[in-house]
Amino acid sequence: MKVPLLRIVAVGEFSTWARQFFQTFEQQDIITVTHETNTDIFCKLLGPTESPSVVFIDNNADSKTNFKKIISTQKPIYIVWIGKTFTKDDLIFALESRIYAVIESVKIDEKKITHMFQILSQLVASDQQTQQLIRAMKSILLQTEAEFPNIPMVDELRNAVKKLQNQSIKNEFNHLHTVEKKEGSDIPFHKAQTLEEALVIINELQRTGVLWIRGNQNDQEGKIEFLQGKITQAHAGSSQGIKAILRMFLWDSPILLFNRRDPSETSGLLSFEVDIYQLVKTGRLLKARFETIRNEIPGDEISLEIAPGVIGKNTALSTNDFSILASVVEFGRVGTLVDFNDLSDVEIYESLINLRRSNMIRKMSA
């Protein structure tokens, strides 16, 4: 008899369809399922353990309440939400709550689900190994502190244990320490965290995968792809590369979600080299400049033209202003101009405002 790939706990009530789903994969010895109908009892049984677990919850009237109870335990738990249908609000909730996966009945693909179970099994095994390593290092540290309290190596070992502990919780899906943010603590990809912090964490942990970013406007969606912590591609609307990333820094209250991938699933080619720390510094400065001009920014649908008779041989223009004037002639529409001019969005807006104040451009007459 083959040993199941993954042990999961089904918490709460489940539909007939969901039970059939479990049975399908249990018969293939891919998973073994333990059922616990009472969420409060499940949370109490977790006890002080730091051993990771995988929980399935059915999409019903109690599911969101059950999520909150489980997440509040601050235990390393990967949550999968299963159901026949999900609304847009459900999917937003899943994104914000860091649900590991959503499985909808009309979209089931056994091959993909099996792959998901394989990845979850690897995550659980990795978490377990990390916890074992931390316990071993703590044991060595305690013994060393007792026998050789004054040697410099003790401080180095203490810092190594602390660093390993901090990095071991930097997983956007296992819900460790995501209830409240204490001074100086890291809450990777949680609501309280910024794009700046996410970029640094992914870089430092040398992660491979895709960081999805969504602002509070319908058209504010983007992604940044990483290979071992280095950025390979970025897209936001029609913009790409560094320009796209700097645009995403301007979005209010962004939701961040990181999907890890195996390096073998990527092209392996770096589209551009960038210093993450310099990038986040630039993004922070542009965001501050953006706030000072936010109320003066023209709408994307506005079309502009150069005011006749204003520009002559002696007109002095900065490099940025000259570039934007050329784009006004080429594109006219503000949204198109912002997408296709190589300057950052903030630099474009600043030049548009400056040119408008100088009466060099105007709204195109109908």
Most confident of 12-26, 69-83, 91-105: 12-26
Query: Do residue 356 and residue 240 come from a single domain?
Result: no
Domain boundary among 248, 267, 293: 293
The DSSP result for 62-115, as a single string, is: THHHHHHHHHHT---EEEEEEES---HHHHHHHHHTT-SEEEEGGG--HHHHHH
Query: Do residue 170 and residue 244 come from a single domain?
Result: no
Q: Band the pLDDT of 265: cuts 50, 70, 90.
A: low
Query: Do residue 181 and residue 217 come from a single domain?
Result: no
State the Cα–Cα distance between residues 193 and 186, nearest whole angstrom: 8
| Inter-CA distances, 119 with 22, 123, 157, 261, Å | 17, 6, 32, 9
pLDDT digits (tens, 9 = 90+) for 45-67: 886 666 788 999 999 999 999 98
pLDDT score of 179 more than 50 = no
Q: For position 180, what pLDDT does the model report?
A: 40
Query: Do residue 218 and residue 256 come from a single domain?
Result: yes
State the Cα–Cα distance between residues 78 and 123, nearest whole angstrom: 9
pLDDT score of 272 more than 80 = no
Amino acid code (one letter) for 307: A
| Inter-CA distances, 201 with 66, 208, 252, 270, 343, Å | 29, 12, 20, 19, 27
Q: For position 175, what pLDDT does the model report?
A: 45
Q: What is the mean pLDDT of the chain?
A: 82
Domain boundary among 258, 293, 328: 293
Q: For position 275, what pLDDT does the model report?
A: 87
Query: Do residue 120 and residue 14 come from a single domain?
Result: yes
Q: 110 versus 81: which is more confidently predicted?
A: 81
Q: How many domains does the chain have?
A: 3
Q: For position 269, what pLDDT does the model report?
A: 59
Q: For position 303, what pLDDT does the model report?
A: 92
What would the mean pLDDT of 180-208 be, rounded to a whole number? Answer: 64
Q: 171 versus 255: which is more confidently predicted?
A: 255
Query: Do residue 108 and residue 181 come from a single domain?
Result: yes
pLDDT score of 171 more than 60 = no
pLDDT score of 250 more than 90 = yes
pLDDT score of 152 more than 80 = no
Biggest CA–CA distance in the chain, Å, is 87
Closest CA to 127 of 63, 19, 185, 51: 51
Closest CA to 66 of 96, 95, 89, 37: 37
What would the mean pLDDT of 244-269 be, rounded to a whole number? Answer: 81
Q: Band the pLDDT of 165: cuts 50, 70, 90.
A: low
- 77-83: strand order across its sheet: 31-36, 6-11, 53-58, 77-83, 101-104
Closest CA to 250 of 304, 204, 195: 195
Query: Do residue 202 and residue 154 come from a single domain?
Result: no
State the Cα–Cα distance between residues 240 and 277, nearest whole angstrom: 19
pLDDT score of 247 more than 90 = yes
What would the mean pLDDT of 322-334 be, rounded to a whole number? Answer: 91
What would the mean pLDDT of 6-17 be, rounded to a whole number? Answer: 92
pLDDT score of 177 more than 50 = no
Q: For position 268, what pLDDT does the model report?
A: 54
Query: Do residue 203 and residue 307 come from a single domain?
Result: no
Amino acid code (one letter) for 358: S
pLDDT digits (tens, 9 = 90+) for 122-135: 888 877 787 777 77
Q: For position 176, what pLDDT does the model report?
A: 44
pLDDT score of 190 more than 60 = no
Q: For position 92, what pLDDT does the model report?
A: 76
Q: pTM to 2 decimals?
A: 0.52
Q: For position 129, what pLDDT does the model report?
A: 80
Partners of 83 in the beta sheet? Answer: 104
Domain boundary among 189, 207, 222: 189
- Domain of 342 in residue numbering reads as 297-363
